[in-house]
Amino acid sequence: MAVSGIGVDLVEIQRMRFMLEKWGERFYQKVFTAEEIAYCQSRSRPYFSFAARFAAKEAFAKALGTGIGEACGWKDVFVRVNAAGSPEIGLSGRLRERLSGRRVFLSLSHTQSMAIAMVVIEDGSSGEA
């Protein structure tokens, strides 16, 4: 398998807190899915989870090579927790079609002040001749 894209993004947790407090529901609804909002709000430190998910969306868009915009909207990519408790990328129908046959890997981490996400997109070919 060959890597077709890598993206990384770093978000200041206090900046995310400021954005969420300033814009409230309008910001939540523009950027996050209902499932992401529910998950983050259930956490003891919701701003950490929101910041990590925001970083994941940005990192994915960078790995895709489009950035956030028409080709990849805020809610076209989302973070969910799998059965093992690990975060993974979920995609809307149009992106799921576009990335058919590819695998998407996500890693999230944070400190007291920063959240980071790294995304790797692997294509479906073996890369061997």
Among the options 22, 30, 57, 62, which is catalytic? 62
Question: Among this protein's residues, is 57 annotated catalytic?
Answer: no
Which are the contacts of 13, defined by CB distance < 8 A and separation ≥ 6? 47, 48, 51, 110, 112, 113, 114, 115
Tokens of 81: 């927790």
Question: Among this protein's residues, is 75 annotated catalytic?
Answer: no
Among the options 22, 30, 75, 110, which is catalytic? 110
Residues 31, 57: contact at Cβ < 8 Å?
yes
Task: State the catalytic residues.
Answer: 62, 110
